[in-house]
Amino acid sequence: MNRLFNFSFALLVVVALFSCVKKKENNSDESGTNKKLFILPKAPMMLTSPSDRDAFLALHYFDNFDFKDTTLIHLPDVGEQCIIDFIALLPKVSNNLRDSAIILAFKKASVELKMYSYFWKTLDRYLNDPNSPVRNEDLYISTCKSIMKLPKVDEVITSNAAFNLKQALKNRTGMQAANFRFTLESGKRMWMKDLKGKYTLLFFYEPDCHTCIETKAFMRQSGLLHNLIESSVITVLAFYPQDDKQLWLQRLPECSQDWVNGYDPDGYFTEKQPYNLRAFPTFYLLDKEKKVLLKDAPIETILEYLQQNG
């Protein structure tokens, strides 16, 4: 699966935070029809500090949003942009307030099933899609938990949120990474926990994935990574989490001989799903005790971390 961001995020870059403007009945667009716009609630004058104003705005963000007007779903300058700005606001407030703000948003959206579904799908797309540049696991976990706390407005959405929450909670930063067994080309079987080194880099890939092939070439050309492997600072486990041995062997020459290269002939990953592999390639950087330092991070971010801390 290529890590291409297939949906537009230009509005977030171009439009400043809180750019939604007032809905005016007499305001016309270029076609001459009434244009639906939106304004954020104004914080009370007594709230002078940025943190207090952000807190107020988070809890009252959608006060002026007409959740019964499903036409806003088809107006990205209004519906989607307001959700984008809401996402940008949430990291500025405390975790408890953030959670309350998300719950309030879904409570308001629950008056109209189509809007409730739209909010869920939009937040899922921006916060959880592996190709999203603003993917945020903390915010996504809070979003899923909010769905779980509310009455079941939609059984399918509730079920999806429950499953995705379970997946997102796996192998989080600071947690002990799930151990698993893999098989080498020689047929020898090993456990991930037995790999040596100050760091362990888990590289999950599919042999015929174009992006994976490019990534393997990039990693082979990295002098930093090669030097760290040579000095036994890091061990790279390039792991194909499926059981197609013929395909794996066909592409195995693309992997460096400096890496530990394995696959899963027993189908353990397919059955147990110990890691949340939403796209390939996927990387985890572990410390000496096999605790997660970086989860699902780009290889460039991992190399930067190793450059600074290796």
Task: Reduce the secondary structure of the chain to three states and give it as a string.
Answer: CCCCCCCCCHHHHHCCCCCCCCCCCCCECCCCCECCCCCCCCCCCCCCCHHHHHHHHHHHCCCCCCCCCHHHHHCCCCHHHHHHHHHHHHHHCCHHHHHHHHHHHHHHHCCCHHHHHHHHHHHHHHHHCCCCCCCCHHHHHHHHHHHHHCCCCCHHHHHHHHHHHHHHCCCCCCCECCCCEEECCCCCEEEHHHCCCCEEEEEECCCCCHHHHHHHHHHHCCHHHHHHHHCCCEEEEEEECCCCHHHHHHHHHHCCCCCEEEECCCCHHHHHCCCCCCCCCEEEEECCCCEEEEECCCHHHHHHHHHHHC
**Domain match, 123 and 185 both:** no
Q: What is the pLDDT of residues 116-174, one digit of tens each?
A: 999 999 999 999 998 898 999 999 999 999 999 998 899 999 999 999 999 999 999 99
Given 168, 194, 225, the domain boundary residue is 168
Instruction: Determine, yes or no, domain membership for 236.
Output: yes
**Domain match, 46 and 140 both:** yes
**Domain match, 163 and 27 both:** yes
Q: What is the mean pLDDT of residues 252-281?
A: 95
- Structurally, how many domains does the chain consist of? 2
**Domain match, 160 and 298 both:** no
Predicted TM-score of the model (pTM): 0.83
Q: Of 4-13, 206-215, 239-248, give the lowest mean pLDDT range.
A: 4-13
CATH number at residue 274: 3.40.30.10
**Domain match, 202 and 138 both:** no
Domain around 189: 181-309
Given 168, 192, 216, the domain boundary residue is 168
**Domain match, 16 and 141 both:** yes
**Domain match, 18 and 120 both:** yes
Instruction: Determine, yes or no, domain membership for 176.
Output: no
Q: Would you say residue 24 has pLDDT above 80?
A: no
**What pLDDT does residue 274 have?**
96
Question: Cα separations (Å) of 129 from 21, 132, 188?
Answer: 28, 5, 36
Instruction: Determine, yes or no, domain membership for 126.
Output: yes
**What pLDDT does residue 20 have?**
39
Q: What is the pLDDT of residues 58-112, one digit of tens each?
A: 999 999 999 999 999 999 999 999 999 999 999 999 999 999 999 999 999 999 9
**Domain match, 164 and 188 both:** no
Question: 30 falls in which pLDDT band (50, 70, 90)?
Answer: very low
